[in-house]
Amino acid sequence: MHDFALNDTADVDPRTEVSMKADEPRVAVLIPCFNEEVAISSVIHAFQSTLPDATIYVFDNNSTDDTATIARQAGAVVRHEPLQGKGYVVRRMFRDIEADLYVMADGDDTYDAALAPAMIHRARTGPFDLVNCIRRQTDDAAYRDGHRFGNLLLTGAVRMIFGDRVEDMLSGYKVLSRRFVKSFPVLSTGFDIETELTVHALELALPIAHVEGAYRPRPPGSVSKLRTWSDGWRILRLIVRLLRHERPLAFFGALAVFAFALALRLAAPLIATYLHTGLVPRLPTAVLATGIVIAGALSLTTGLILDTVTRGRRETRLLAYLHHAPPGDLQTDAPRA
């Protein structure tokens, strides 16, 4: 960064000014919304103040109130996603919007927009493909005990299975690079999208950074769309599904080990009796144990085959990721060869 004296500005080549402006990254603020008419205007104005050169997109997800109208009046680009669910909205956002850096935030005015420039700076200077905001509670009403416990439980499960480089997995405030967004195959449909985003970064070993920021309660009249138990159960099921998809050898190998252990437990008395008497008195148990061993062998074989398939899928995503320049390189208009 260069400092110029006031009397030197006349000597600056206009082409240099244009070049410096052209080197600035294109920033898109992505705000998924469902019935957020109470808060959306404040969110848009906050990001307009902190990121004056960014384009703010509000994706309305079948709101029954005036969210879309208020967002348009506040100066945002409003688009619509008819399929209900945050995952569908994120899929549409990532597919349609072209930018160098993406700031994703909720439309409920719980996140601090003033933190966005620091997050963008962190993404560019790292460079980092994912900068996640760790929520710091500023009010007891902002973060209910059930949500806090669920977040710790689910984040802990992901850290244990896929890697411990992530904190506050369910935070909805992130800065993402273009190469992250364009290599991410969105499969989730609801609030489990944050889990899928995290696992994508961990599985491809992408550079991740964290910035701590305030987490405020919703403004009066705004209602949370998060359902603690049903959404938590959905996220837990997604973690198991991602374990099966991303780590098939571990998943099916564990089933095989369980099957072999169970079969051994059933067959041990039969083997002892056979060695002592030469007879197999409980033939059905022997047949059952044999069947369980066969099932375990099939599970292990399935894991080995799917592990090869998963490796190919991971390589495909990595190639799509490498097709784009890192966030610190501003020459992002032309993809890499």
Per domain, the residue ranges of the chain are 27-226, 245-323
- What pLDDT does residue 23 have? 67
| pTM of structure | 0.76
- Write the pLDDT tens digit of every residue in 176-189: 999 999 999 888 77
Q: Look over the chain and give the mean of its residue pLDDT values, rounded to a whole number.
A: 83
End-to-end distance of the chain based on CA atoms, in angstroms?
Answer: 30
User: Does position 329 have pLDDT exceeding 70, yes or no?
Assistant: no
Q: Out of 94-103, 141-150, 231-240, which region has the weakest mean confidence (pLDDT)?
A: 141-150
Q: Which of 267, 303, 297 is nearest to 285 (CA)?
A: 267
Q: Which of 256, 251, 258, 259 is nearest to 300 (CA)?
A: 256
Q: Which of 225, 230, 233, 229 is nearest to 84 (CA)?
A: 225
Task: Name the DSSP class of 2.
Answer: -
Q: Is 166 helix (H, G, I), strand (E, B) or coil?
A: coil
Strands laid side by side in the 55-60 sheet: 77-80, 55-60, 27-33, 101-104, 174-177, 130-137, 208-215
Question: Are 55 and 65 spatial neighbours (Cβ–Cβ below 8 Å)?
Answer: no
Rg of the chain over Cα atoms, rounded to whole angstroms, equals 26
- Write the pLDDT tens digit of every residue in 5-53: 333 333 434 333 333 345 678 999 999 999 999 999 999 999 999 999 9
Distances (CA, A) of 149 to 165, 168, 210, 229, 316: 19, 11, 20, 11, 36
Q: Is 215 helix (H, G, I), strand (E, B) or coil?
A: strand
User: Does position 139 have pLDDT exceeding 70, yes or no?
Assistant: no
Domain 27-226 class, CATH top level: alpha beta
Both tokens of 168, joined, read 């506050």
Rounded Cα–Cα distance for residues 229 and 68 (Å):
29
